Amino acid sequence: MGLISLLWGIVALLWMLLALIPLLGAFNWLVIPFAGIGVLLAALGIAMTGRESRGRAKAAFLLNLVVMLVAAIRLSLGGGVI
């Protein structure tokens, strides 16, 4: 689960970087739920694995949270969040 959520987070990060381009900011409305699913996958990975192999899942959890935060900030700066 940790590897899947990490790959999910990398894809979300790439989509978020694409959404930083002017006139593509509305794409963040899709990135935020996508990264939210990545957070859920990472949380499952943390819960289901042993203490010694939680590194990937923890990294994925943080990556997806950062992507969600940056996408939400980008939406608020562009007037996408009321």
pLDDT at 82 over 80: no
> Would you state the pLDDT for residue 79?
67
Question: What is the SS3 string spanning the chain?
Answer: CHHHHHHHHHHHHHHHHHHCCCCCHHHHHHHHHHHHHHHHHHHHHHHHCCHHHCHHHHHHHHHHHHHHHHHHHHHHHCCCCC
Residue 9 tokens read as: 């987070």
Cβ atoms of 31 and 11 closer than 8 Å: no
Top pLDDT among 72 and 79 is at 72
Burial of 52 (0-12, 13-18, 19+ CB in 10 A): exposed
> Would you state the pLDDT for residue 9?
94
pLDDT tens, 17-71? 998 888 888 888 999 999 999 999 999 999 998 888 889 999 999 999 999 999 9
> Would you state the pLDDT for residue 41?
94
